[in-house]
Amino acid sequence: MGSRQELSVLHLDIDAFFAAVEVLMDPSLRGKPVVVGGLPWERGVVSTASYEARKYGVHSGMPLRRAGELCPNCVFLRGHFQVYREFSEKFFRLLYRYTPHILPASLDEAYLGLSSLTLLYPDLPSYARRIKEEVERDLGLSISGGLARNRLLAKLATERAKPGEFFVLRPEDEENFLGELPIEALPGIGHKTREVLLRLGIKKVRDLRGLSLKALRSLFGLHGEYLYYASRGKDVRGGACDFQSQAPPRSLSRETTFLEDLWDLDLLLAHLSYLSDRLASGLREEGLKAGRIGLKVRFSDFTTITRSRSLSRPTDEHSLIYEIARELFMPIYGKADLSIRLLGVTGSDLRQGYEPELFEGRKRGIQASVDLIRRKFGFGAILTARELKLSSLYSLDKAHGYVLKTASLTR
Ligand SMILES: [Mg+2]
């Protein structure tokens, strides 16, 4: 393993983010097993489990009902996604105090490129630790951190540091550190890949290195190439050079799993409008416009259909996004004889928002006032008549809009 690159990538990850924010909002939860994502008899999955809840075997992605069986004493919360978003924004604002070279990995996770600071801070590990501790203090949430030569290794270092610690993976230790990890510790090794590798007797990353590039390619295609390099500590995405400019998020989506499968067209369209509204508002918040709008529909039998359409002009407007989502949805709804379990709306092909065009002026003005009122009084302060139909299904929380089952932000 070459060590030409220096230690220069710091990975920071907030511990049990959603659960930690809930504890901060309600200190009586401290020390208790907390599960965010919904109530144990509801559908959908666990978004975050506190470390106390993880002791019972509860983890994110697990069906809520299963979590309820494993941990009947856990405190189950639907969550406050708007509040998490605010904490996330603060997290990133704090990071920008140290460097502009930041790659967001999710709401609570980021890579910092520190190579430009090596002259200023010859002892980079101490400086990186200081960043971690100061951000932790100013945010009020526990953070884990890892410092290494590239993003892949920095993320693995953070995994080792969890929860709350800081781990420096020095180039001379990489080979052993990585070799001893179970293969599933490598990011991107899913259930299927793992099964195939286990059948070949490959359990540790060290074993994986015994397979040639050709063998891995024939087993897994391009993913095999990734495995070949990752098992050697090489990040095919490159090292610190990616930090030259911050990559904008690739897509932004809003989706929801219903409490009960839905068939009623009015209610489905109301959801679609609400999701489009949340997406449009998310785009505006990030100063982005979407050049492509996507729709995701999951039926009661779990078959999932996605459709998307490119726009002649990128948009961040609720009405336009809804119109397209509706056009994509109607033929699917018309043909299906199953009820619907999940709806999602995605904006992709994202670009930095342009200056408002002249003829857009008035609409912009209205949208800006909507955004302003929502920032002040919460998302639920302004909803369209169509969205108000949802009040039959959910309680309207003034600060956070409808408390929907899941909200996801895909970077
Ligand atoms: Mg985290």
CATH number of the domain enclosing 46: 3.40.1170.60
Domains in the chain, number: 3
Tokens linked to 381: 């302060």
Domain end (from 196, 224, 246): 246
Contact between residue 130 and residue 14 where contact means Cβ atoms under 8 Å apart: no
Q: Are residues 220 and 351 part of one domain? A: no
Q: What is the pLDDT along the chain (411 residues), one digit of tens a residue?
A: 433 458 889 999 999 999 999 999 899 999 999 999 999 998 889 999 999 999 999 999 999 999 999 999 999 999 888 889 889 988 998 998 898 888 888 899 999 999 888 888 889 999 999 999 999 999 999 999 999 999 999 999 999 999 999 999 999 999 999 999 999 999 888 888 999 999 999 999 999 999 999 999 999 888 898 899 999 998 876 544 445 444 556 788 888 888 788 898 988 999 999 999 999 988 887 778 899 999 999 999 989 999 999 999 999 999 999 999 999 999 999 888 899 999 999 999 988 754 444 444 555 666 777 776 776 666 766 677 777 777 655 655 544 455 443 333 332
CA of 2 to the centre of ligand 1 (A): 30
CA of 18 to the centre of ligand 1 (A): 9
Q: Are residues 314 and 299 part of one domain? A: yes
Q: Are residues 229 and 374 part of one domain? A: no
pLDDT recorded at residue 257: 82
CA of 113 to the centre of ligand 1 (A): 19
297: containing domain: 251-402
Q: Are residues 35 and 10 part of one domain? A: no
CATH number for position 338:
3.30.1490.100
**Residue 310 forms part of a structural domain:** yes
CA of 20 to the centre of ligand 1 (A): 10
Closest CA to 44 of 314, 341, 371: 341
**Residue 109 forms part of a structural domain:** yes
Beta bridge partners of 116: none
Closest CA to 139 of 216, 24, 255, 308: 24
The dihedral through the CA atoms of 336, 339, 342, 344 has a sign that is positive
CA–CA–CA angle 205, 207, 211 (5° rounding):
105
CA of 180 to the centre of ligand 1 (A): 23
Closest CA to 154 of 144, 140, 141, 143: 144
CATH number for position 145:
3.30.70.270
Read off φ and ψ for residue 234, nearest 5 degrees. Answer: -95, 135
Q: Are residues 312 and 236 part of one domain? A: no
Please tell me the pTM assigned to this model.
0.60
**Residue 96 forms part of a structural domain:** yes
For β-strands 288-299 and 340-352, DSSP reports them as: antiparallel
Contact between residue 94 and residue 135 where contact means Cβ atoms under 8 Å apart: yes
Burial per residue of 152-184, b for 16 or more beta-carbon CB atoms within 10 angstroms, e otherwise: bbbbbbbeebbeebbbbbebeebbebbbebebe
Known catalytic residues are 109
